[in-house]
A and B are shown apart, each in its own frame.
Chain A
Amino acid sequence: MTAHRLTGYRVDPDLSPGHGIDRDAGITVTVDGASVPAFTGDSIASALIASGRLGCGPSIHMSRPRGILAAGVEEPNALLRIEARTPGAPSESMLPATTVDAVDGLSAHWLQGMGVLDPAGDDAYYDRKYVHTDVLVVGAGPAGIAAAREASKTGARTVLLDEQSAPGGSLLSGRDETIDDTEAVAWACAALDRLTAQPDFTYMRRTTAIGSYDANYVVAVERSAADVAAPASAGVARARIWHIRAKRVVLATGAHERPLVFADNDRPGIMLAGAVRTYLNRYAAAAGQRIVLATTNDSVYALLEDLHTAGIAVPVVVDSRPEPSDRARAALEATGARGVFGAAVVGTSANGQADASDTGGTADRGRVTAVSFASVDGSGRPAGAVETVPADTLAVSGGHSPVLHLHTQRQGRTRWDEAFAGFVPEAPVSGQSVVGSANGAVSLGTALEQGAHAGHAAAAETGARGPLVVPTASASAPGPVHPLWLIASPGAPAGPHGPTAPRAPADSEAPTTAQPLAGNGTPALAPEHWASHFVDLQRDQTVADVLRAVGAGMRSVEHIKRYTSISTANDQGKTSSVNAMGVIASLLEDADPASVGTSTNRPPYTPVAFAALAGRRRGDLYEPARVTNIQPWHVAHGAEFEDVGQWKRPRYFPRAGEDMDAAVLRECAAVRTSVGFQDASTLGKIEIRGADAPEFLNRIYTNGFKKLAVGKGRYGLMCGADGMLFDDGVTMRLAEDRFLMTTTTGGAAGVLDWLEEWHQTEWPDMDVLFTSVTEQWNTIAVAGPRSRDVIATIAPDIDVANESFGFMEFRETQLSNGIPARICRISFSGELAFEVNVPTFYGLAAWELVDDTGQEFGITPYGTETMHVLRAEKGLVIIGQDTDGTVTPQDAGMGWAVSKLKDFVGKRSFQRTDTARPDRKHFVGVLPVDGVTRLDEGAQLIAAGTPVTPEAGPVPMIGHVTSSYLSAELGRPFGLALVENGFNRMGEIVRSPVGGTLVDVEITSSVFIDPEGKRRDG
């Protein structure tokens, strides 16, 4: 301990319990290139403190020297980038050194408040789990363990989550405490050992509950032990997201300590008192050798005793309370330390008195060298002589803020507890309870009592009962708290007032200092005197910034947070939020922090890697790919695939050297001149049975289905109640009371729901039932003038001649290789065509049979793109491509399929004035006049002569291109479009933008080939 400037050190075993470290397991970590010895169990922060390296990266905006402030997730200063731990793993930024376990060989660098996402990506294994429990306890401190113990012993399923790697929570930071006459940390470990032997008890360490949602749905992140100790094996998650549904939740989440707001309160060496105690007792790491304590409450006196025992000098305890409490008096007497009451720290001196321009320096750059304190008056102004004592560390406690993120995420309300000087739950959320210091409990005995009762009651509420046993520990009455929100610098103009609690009513005893508020209600304080009173260390925001926000007229903490950015860094203001409210309330002379509003927290409680949230939903597990049984053939034959909903459908089958255009032209030509085949299995199929099925279909389809003969099919249109096209397809009559309906690929599920909805809600008395058989069948479309030859060969038992197997008829048969099949004459291209339906198991074999049989005709597989072109040449609409929910059958040129004789869903909407007007957008063909330019799908159409300059805008549009292709048959590009009054514009030349210029486009009929329908019969 003699080295110059070396202030922190590792405390000998006889002077510190070091609950958290294994002194026999020495390891080394590297921080900014320097080797730092550590023990297994250390955090990076504790290893650094034990090595006298308390300084971290400078502050984000002002580049002020900073050091480690805290010992947990609330740390605002000490942010690290951790280098890749395993080859291929990413580096990670913005990790507080206080939360990173020291692992041998780990290398890290300090950040200046901002990190960079590793551009190499993160290919580590992350996954998730869904679990259910009767009782979920968050936090394995004394209250949480007591709750889990009482819940679990009833037989209730119990899950205990804790962010630490060892159980005990606050007990790990203490010493000499006992529970049930056992040393407290040993009690915690023994309790967990017994619990984990229970069959339905789960203890998850290194697991942080990050979000709490309706119905006690809690999301937590578990960081794996494997990641800490060794490279993870394949399949072992580096982090796992737990989705937990609990019947009851017990929040035992503890409290965070608040800093004090005085001049230069951000210097390295100024630490939270509780953190100094954690480092001393859990990690045997002394933060310094001369430590001044400054407090508003009793909590620092345990630290005073521990420092005394460890042989560390405490020159003075500066306590804001006018009188020593019983606890303070006893500790001061026992340790012989000096206590000063009614006083506050008003400033510090530092190494080199480093300022913002000082960017060099050592690990101790800017570190505290002396602490100045003085008596403060009722307005927080130094009232007496300023005294300065040398010190290397200042441990501060501005009070405690219960950790209520999970409570407020559920809209749980909080109230300001005057005696505790913190926000505590007004009442727990339904189905939850809040216990221990999260509920404002100060003594260990009270925390254990609250926890045990809550765990017992939670289990009982799920129907599990057992005897209640409350662990015993000391339960001394808490001493008073005297918060200090603003501590003026000596010589600076006074603040409006100082301590706000206890406070007299504002109208009875106005502050005697200068007029606190200007006439317009804004504070009269000069910001320049408050520019180093830090409120949010991570955002570098000071009281001066709050003054500017208040001066700009803001009053609510929600507004001031956003104006200043206080509490919006990735620590979510764990150390700054309540202090900001106290500062604002003081400046506005409000009674307490609650009067300026409360802040509600949003998930996540601590940052979570996006890669962890993504889990396994990436790469080929990103989204399910639905495939047909014929898929292997498509892959083997080089298909390019298209996503249609979740289906992967072959889009085209390029040959060597072909692009999509060339392949599609070739495939189209094959169908028009010989024969092609397509996997059409994805079309929706619904089998319908019922005596009323014909009438039901009659009501659903716009065209008639009652008279459809058995053995025949009919193309039908469905509209929504608004009269707009909704789906289409062919329905076949299998028997008097049986039909097989086909739907669009994307519409299958929606159509089934639609049928069920009308049946169940409107016509429940009809005898009709539906079953989806989409996946029961594979469908192979065989199209082209030679398709009849192919079908004749593969289906030798049926007569395929035109006069015996008519259009829209079907036959049940066996293929030549014995496969049972239903063959239909259906065309979606205008050509002679068939669809061969076989049970799914036989899809690939049937496909290969068609392929083999068709070889002599040069049969060509085609994909969805060719199918689109072929139907477009024939003017056949694709619902969802050429329609958009605003198109009636009449608009689409299919008035012929709308019955005038019967009622059906959507019919009445055709009488609406707007639906009936003759100049709606109509489905027409569009031909680029130059015969070579392909129009863009989605491109707007404008009338000829319409000016398009910005000055003339907005440009009136008359429609848009819905489909556009090259046509082998036409020898030119063509398209389909929806155009205002299109049926009455035939031959009109309009314009459409292509590549920045306007091209002339002729409006035509949507039917480009074979308008007489001669090809259909071959």
Chain B
Amino acid sequence: MADSHTPTPRPEPVHLRRSPAHDMRAAMEQACTAGPHRVALREIPFVAQLGIRAVPGEEAAARIERVVGVTLPAAVGTTSGDPDGLHCVWIGPDEFLTIDVSRTHVQGEAEAAAAVLDDDRPGAGRTAGQVVDLSGNRTVLELTGPSARAVLEKGCHVDLHPREFPVGCAVSTLVGPVPMIVHRAHEETFRLLPRSSFAQYTVRWLCDAMLEFRALSA
């Protein structure tokens, strides 16, 4: 690039960040219910997410797994890693999404990880593959409680019975009319990852579906 001067980087102004479901926080709090039918919804904002294109077993995958710190999952519907920390969702045979719900995104981390593919040390060299910052591409919504599955069953065609969709499963599907990733992190904890632009609608849809359990708890 033409710029000759290299300004000193300023700290990232994280106080200016705004998450996709920011305006829906009050609605989410109001929709939560207590008691045996309880169900709760929250957004986990600014979660670090990386989009990965690599074929497991090949050089690029090995480098990415090493630098990111998670093994790519092997089959459709599966995840790898720690559901409460860094984990990875199978999107396609050579496409994956890593999610670290234990911390927020740091600007530049994706580019740093992607550099492993351009490793110019002797004996290494450039390899095919892709690592892209997707931390803002989807938001992470978390639906928890004994009624969480029943809420999702109002709009999700996938069989969510624990026998068919055990903890650790994640699929790309529709909930209501919204495409999203549905991940069962724990028995009664589902993470929903719609594209950011769908966040408001998704929260509105979920809050509506949760109403029934408030009525049951009342």
- A binding-site residues for B, Cβ under 8 Å: 125, 127-132, 157, 200, 233-237, 243, 245, 616-617, 620-621, 623-629, 631-632, 647, 682, 687, 689-691, 711, 737, 767, 769-777, 797-799, 804-805, 809, 811-814, 817-820, 839-845
Contacts and interface: CB of A to CB of B under 8 A. Distances in A.
A930 to B, nearest CB: 44
B161 A616 contact: no
Contact of B198 (A624, A797, A842): A624
A623 B53 contact: no
A487 B23 CA distance: 73
Contacts, number: 175
A245 B156 CA distance: 12
A623 B177 contact: yes
B1 A233 contact: no
Contact of A132 (B9, B137, B164): B164
Contact of A820 (B12, B132, B200, B213): B12
B10 interface: yes
16 contacts: A233-B215, A235-B213, A245-B159, A616-B205, A624-B178, A626-B195, A647-B197, A770-B53, A774-B137, A775-B197, A776-B135, A776-B137, A818-B10, A819-B13, A841-B135, A842-B13
A845 B16 contact: yes
Given A157-B161, A617-B177, A624-B178, A689 B200 contact: no
A845 B134 CA distance: 19
B209 interface: yes
A687 B129 CA distance: 12
A415 B47 CA distance: 62
B204 interface: yes
Contacts of A235: 208, 210-215
Given A235-B210, A767-B128, A776-B136, 12 more contacts: A130-B154, A131-B153, A235-B208, A616-B208, A616-B209, A617-B177, A624-B176, A624-B177, A775-B137, A776-B134, A776-B135, A804-B2
Nearest to B15: A845
Contacts of A245: 159
B71 interface: no
Given A234-B215, A691-B128, A771-B130, A621 B205 contact: yes
A836 to B, nearest CB: 14
A776 B133 contact: yes
A774 B137 CA distance: 7
B196 A625 contact: no
B46 A627 contact: no
Contact of B1 (A690, A711, A771, A775): A711
Nearest to B200: A627
A818 B13 contact: yes
Categorize the interface residue count of chain B: 35 or more
B212 A237 contact: yes
Nearest to A820: B107
Contacts of B198: 624, 626
A814 B23 CA distance: 26
A624 B179 CA distance: 10
B137 A130 contact: no
* A interface: dominant SS: mixed
B164 A687 contact: no
Nearest to A648: B197
A914 to B, nearest CB: 39
A775 B195 contact: yes
Interface string B147-158: 000100111110
Contacts of B159: 132, 245
A233 B216 CA distance: 9
A769 B13 contact: no
Contacts of B23: 632
B136 A777 contact: yes
A624 to B, nearest CB: 4
A798 B134 contact: no
A131 B46 CA distance: 33
Closest 6 interchain pairs by CB? A235-B211, A840-B136, A233-B215, A626-B197, A845-B16, A132-B159
Interface string B11-55: 111001111100100000000000000000000001000010100
Contacts of A820: 12, 107-108
Contact of A621 (B3, B19, B204): B204
Given A130-B155, A799-B3, A771 B134 contact: yes
Interface string B163-190: 0100000000000111000000000000
A773 B134 contact: yes
A132 B215 contact: no
B101 to A, nearest CB: 16
Given A621-B204, A775-B196, A777-B136, A129 B153 contact: yes
A708 to B, nearest CB: 14
Given A629-B20, A769-B129, A620 B204 contact: yes
A687 B2 contact: no
B136 A775 contact: yes
A237 B197 CA distance: 29
Contacts of B12: 818, 820
Chain A CB within 10 Å, residue with most, of B11, B13, B95, B209: B13
Contact of B53 (A771, A809, A814): A771
Contact of B215 (A236, A689, A737, A769): A236
Contacts of B157: 130, 243
A618 B133 CA distance: 36
Nearest to B94: A769
B160 to A, nearest CB: 8
Contacts of B200: 625, 627, 631
A237 B105 CA distance: 41
Nearest to B213: A235
A812 B1 CA distance: 9
B7 interface: yes
B142 to A, nearest CB: 18
Interface in B35-82: 46, 51, 53
A769 B53 contact: yes
A620 B204 CA distance: 9
A711 B202 CA distance: 38
Contact of B132 (A132, A771, A817): A771
Contacts of A798: 3
A94 to B, nearest CB: 28
Chain B CB within 10 Å, residue with most, of A767, A818, A841, A845: A841
B197 A839 contact: no
Contact of B161 (A132, A621, A799, A819): A132
Nearest to A803: B2
Interface string B93-120: 0110000000001011000000001000
Contact of A814 (B10, B132, B136, B208): B10
B204 A841 contact: no
B12 to A, nearest CB: 6
A841 B18 contact: yes
Contacts of A804: 2-3
Chain A CB within 10 Å, residue with most, of B16, B17, B213: B16
A127 B19 contact: no
B168 to A, nearest CB: 19
Given A129-B154, A818-B11, A625 B201 contact: yes
Given A130-B153, A237-B212, A616-B208, A841 B136 contact: yes
